[in-house]
């Protein structure tokens, strides 16, 4: 099938296109209207149809492959591993659903899930979907103040949590953070359901806190029928990372999301029922929702939930999982691959990776060096993809399940079916031509699976995403991009990560790309720092490949001059950073995103903000020390 024709049909005849795709899932009641876009920018998909995410992910597979693996829960933190068949997964989900019903959870009620990467977290998400409750997963270990703001926004009747998570063998107690958050919140949940892993002592609040194992024991034979939901009822709320002030909850539907995931598993990830999918993310992020819990199961695949680091107990742990469970499709982030690239190659090469068909990477731009290295090592296609919490599935990628077109280094790919992607000039709103820089936008309506609204605040949805360009109903991604003559897009960075240097607007990503081309730079972060004369100045923090080059002050100065010369030649003197500092690590979230805002704050002498999700707190101290030296 020709992808260009496939894509064109999704844009020119969206109702016919998505009517066909809706056959990929089960419907209890047929929909009466494919698309209702009578109130832009709000789109309703498969109006009147009744379906259920849990049914499509679990129940419908029990008849044909009930004894095959569905959920493989692995923790190298606790040295445990358990495989649940589809039948066993359904039984656990029904038990969890019965527990929720016993605690007063009903259709439309919110359940906040604050959990480590353990099987019970997936049970809780699927149980909510089963009974029509709306789950809101908050990354385990998130700070109390931030957690409290999400509790107040979602107003959950139940919180599902655990005594602790674990990272690199160190327990991270959740219960004290949760207790503090509930104390701070105005909206008090009636109950807290707690999984006791035996990792940290917990104090219990009488009448509120309930032990998971004890309650489960009373519902071992529970049978909880699926609650059929109208396609546009909410399925979950996921708060976007980096929000300030009032949280911004991305609200997603049921039917459109199920169809979009089924389609993306078929066309983007070439899924086959009975095979195994391994996404290395966390359920606290959108990748964990779409491609750990729901997407692979909807496609009839086994899905792996992994608690642990990519290099512990050794740098071959992920590859041993691929080999043991015959993983065919793997989804990770460029940061993780860069970490693995620093490890001895024998850790990868000692495992039989012949089952693997492709590696998908997302979450940040994929540099050419990392892409080429992992492609050479694995001998499989490396497929980049670009999307957002708000969209739920890829905006840009290569749909090899439609046509095996080539990838292009540095590009996440072409516009995916259903997304009418355009580049608009920031000042005029005019469409950009090939190789002209613009803001990446999507013409409404958004395709199935994308956010319905900001939870509880329709006006904020309109004001935040749809009001960037006067007179045009377009969704702004807030990312700069360019498109080449063949339709491949290249993402240059956030429009709100723009540096204004003496009236010149420069994207941090552009400067980072330039600095990264220096042969001794392995990674770099560029931020804009306030300057009284030039408005802002660019400041760079780089990790070098050969540390001996910066062993002396003279060496550091020489390398800094070289890097500045590279930027001068590639982008011009206006883009040259005022300083290049050398650091051993860069501060990132656990999902691999650079904390540019925190770096900028330190440079400007401000508080670095909420650092709960930071991977390595010491990295910020290294930024501070570099500035002082």
Question: Is residue 533 pLDDT above 70, yes or no?
Answer: no
pLDDT by residue (tens digit) across 132-149? Answer: 999 999 988 887 888 999
Q: How high is the pLDDT of residue 243?
A: 35
Q: Do 363 and 333 form a contact (C-beta atoms < 8 A)? A: yes
Structure confidence at residue 616 as a pLDDT band (50, 70, 90): confident
Give the highest mean pLDDT range of 192-201, 237-246, 361-370, 528-537.
Answer: 192-201
Q: Which residue has the higher pLDDT, 536 or 273?
A: 273
Structure confidence at residue 17 as a pLDDT band (50, 70, 90): very high
Q: How high is the pLDDT of residue 335?
A: 82
Question: 463: how many CB neighbours lie within 10 A of its CB?
Answer: 12
Q: How high is the pLDDT of residue 503?
A: 62
pLDDT by residue (tens digit) across 344-376? Answer: 989 999 999 999 999 999 987 787 888 889 999
Question: Is residue 611 pLDDT above 70, yes or no?
Answer: no
Measure the CA–CA gap between 141 and 164, rounded to whole angstroms: 8
**Non-local CB neighbours of 416 within 8 Å, separated by 6+ positions:** 7, 264, 268, 393, 394, 395, 396, 397, 399
**Non-local CB neighbours of 371 within 8 Å, separated by 6+ positions:** 361, 382, 384, 409
- HSE-up of 260 (CA within 13 Å, CB side)? 28
Range in 212-226, 240-254, 323-337 with the lowest mean pLDDT? 240-254
Share of the chain above pLDDT 90, in %: 79
The fold of the 3-308+385-465 domain, in CATH, is Rossmann fold (3.40.50)
What is the CA 92 to chain-centroid distance, rounded? 26
Q: How high is the pLDDT of residue 504?
A: 67
Question: 106: how many CB neighbours lie within 10 A of its CB?
Answer: 12
pLDDT by residue (tens digit) across 70-96? Answer: 999 999 999 999 999 999 999 999 999
For residues 507-525, average pLDDT: 89
pLDDT by residue (tens digit) across 549-604? Answer: 999 999 999 999 999 999 888 777 888 999 999 999 999 877 677 888 889 989 99
Structure confidence at residue 120 as a pLDDT band (50, 70, 90): very high
Question: Is residue 387 pLDDT above 70, yes or no?
Answer: yes
Give the highest mean pLDDT range of 136-150, 247-261, 366-380, 494-508.
Answer: 247-261
Strands 42-47 and 420-424: unpaired
Which residue, 261, 289, 297, 321, is CA-closest to 70? 297
Structure confidence at residue 612 as a pLDDT band (50, 70, 90): low
For residues 466-491, average pLDDT: 94
pLDDT by residue (tens digit) across 177-213? Answer: 999 999 999 999 999 999 999 999 999 999 999 999 9
Question: Is residue 472 pLDDT above 70, yes or no?
Answer: yes
Where in the sequence of the chain do the CATH 3.30.300.30 domains occur?
A: 502-628
pLDDT by residue (tens digit) across 296-310? Answer: 999 999 999 999 999
Measure the CA–CA gap between 131 and 98, rounded to whole angstroms: 9
Tokens of 474: 């377009």
Domain 502-628 classification at class level? alpha beta
Range in 37-41, 492-496, 538-542, 544-548 with the lowest mean pLDDT? 492-496
The DSSP output letter for 511 is H
Question: Is residue 530 pLDDT above 90, yes or no?
Answer: no
Q: Do 215 and 233 form a contact (C-beta atoms < 8 A)? A: no
Q: How high is the pLDDT of residue 610?
A: 63
Q: How high is the pLDDT of residue 618?
A: 83
Q: Which residue has the higher pLDDT, 326 or 507?
A: 326
Where in the sequence of the chain do the CATH 3.40.50.12780 domains occur?
A: 3-308+385-465
- HSE-up of 427 (CA within 13 Å, CB side)? 2
Share of the chain above pLDDT 70, in %: 97
Averaged pLDDT of the chain: 93
Q: Which residue has the higher pLDDT, 477 or 1?
A: 477
Structure confidence at residue 242 as a pLDDT band (50, 70, 90): very low
- The CA-to-CA distance between both ends of the chain, in Å, stands at 59
Measure the CA–CA gap between 191 and 116, rounded to whole angstroms: 19
Which residue, 402, 322, 411, is CA-closest to 362? 411
pLDDT by residue (tens digit) across 395-432? Answer: 999 999 999 999 998 899 999 999 999 999 988 999 99
Tokens of 459: 């006006």
For residues 464-473, average pLDDT: 91
């Amino acid at each position: 099938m020709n992808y260009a024709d496939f894509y064109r049909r999704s844009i020119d005849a969206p109702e016919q296109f998505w009517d066909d795709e809706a056959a990929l899932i089960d419907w209890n009641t047929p929909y009466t209207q494919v698309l209702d876009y009578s109130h832009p920018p709000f789109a309703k998909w498969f109006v009147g149809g009744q379906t259920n995410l849990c049914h499509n992910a679990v129940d419908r597979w029990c008849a044909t492959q009930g004894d095959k693996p569905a959920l493989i829960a692995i923790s190298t933190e606790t040295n445990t591993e358990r495989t649940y068949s589809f039948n066993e997964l359904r039984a656990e989900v029904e038990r969890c659903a019965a527990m929720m019903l016993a605690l007063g959870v009903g259709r439309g009620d919110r359940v906040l899930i604050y959990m480590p990467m353990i099987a019970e977290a997936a049970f809780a998400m699927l149980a909510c979907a089963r009974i029509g409750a709306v789950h809101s997963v908050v990354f385990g270990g998130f700070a109390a103040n931030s957690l409290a703001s999400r509790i107040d926004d979602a107003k959950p009747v139940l919180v599902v949590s655990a005594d602790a998570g674990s990272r690199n063998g160190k327990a991270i107690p959740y219960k004290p953070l949760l207790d503090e958050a509930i104390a701070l919140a105005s909206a008090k949940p009636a109950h807290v359901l707690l999984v006791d892993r035996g990792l940290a002592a917990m104090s219990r609040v009488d009448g509120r806190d309930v032990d998971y194992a004890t309650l489960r024991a009373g519902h071992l034979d529970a049978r909880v029928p699926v609650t059929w939901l109208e396609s546009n009822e909410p399925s979950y709320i996921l708060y976007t990372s980096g929000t300030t002030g009032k949280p911004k909850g991305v609200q997603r539907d049921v039917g459109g999301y199920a169809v979009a995931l089924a389609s993306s598993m078929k066309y983007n990830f070439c899924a086959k029922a009975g095979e195994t999918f391994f996404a290395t993310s966390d359920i606290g992020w959108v990748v964990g929702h779409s491609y750990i819990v729901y997407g692979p199961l909807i496609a009839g695949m086994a899905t792996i939930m992994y608690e642990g680091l990519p290099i512990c107990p050794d740098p071959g742990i992920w590859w041993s999982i691929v080999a043991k469970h015959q993983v065919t499709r793997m989804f990770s982030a460029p940061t993780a691959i860069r970490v693995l690239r620093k490890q001895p190659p024998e850790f990868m090469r000692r495992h039989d990776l012949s089952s693997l068909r492709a590696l998908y990477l997302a979450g940040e731009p994929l540099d050419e060096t990392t892409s080429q290295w992992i492609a050479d090592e694995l001998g499989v296609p490396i497929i980049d993809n670009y999307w957002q919490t708000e969209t739920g599935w890829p905006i840009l990628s290569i749909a090899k399940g439609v046509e095996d077109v080539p990838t292009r280094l540095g590009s996440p790919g072409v516009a995916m079916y259903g997304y009418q992607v355009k580049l608009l000039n920031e000042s005029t709103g005019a469409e950009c031509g090939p190789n002209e820089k613009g803001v990446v936008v999507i013409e409404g309506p958004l395709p199935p699976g994308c956010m319905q609204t900001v939870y509880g605040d329709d006006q904020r949805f309109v004001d935040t995403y749809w009001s960037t360009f006067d007179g045009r109903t377009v969704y702004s991604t807030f990312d700069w991009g360019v498109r080449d003559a063949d339709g491949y897009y290249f993402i240059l960075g956030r429009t709100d990560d723009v540096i204004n240097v003496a009236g010149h607007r420069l994207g941090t990503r552009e400067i980072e790309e330039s600095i990264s081309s220096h042969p001794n730079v392995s990674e770099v972060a560029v931020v804009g720092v306030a300057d009284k004369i030039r408005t802002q100045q660019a400041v760079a923090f780089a990790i070098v490949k050969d540390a001996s080059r910066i062993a002396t002050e003279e060496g550091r100065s020489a390398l800094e001059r070289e890097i500045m010369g590279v930027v001068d030649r590639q982008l011009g003197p206006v883009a040259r950073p005022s300083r290049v500092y050398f650091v051993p690590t860069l501060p990132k979230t656990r999902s691999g995103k650079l904390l540019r805002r925190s770096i900028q704050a330190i440079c400007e002498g401000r508080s670095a903000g909420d650092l709960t999700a930071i991977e390595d707190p010491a990295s910020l101290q290294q930024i501070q020390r570099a500035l002082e030296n």
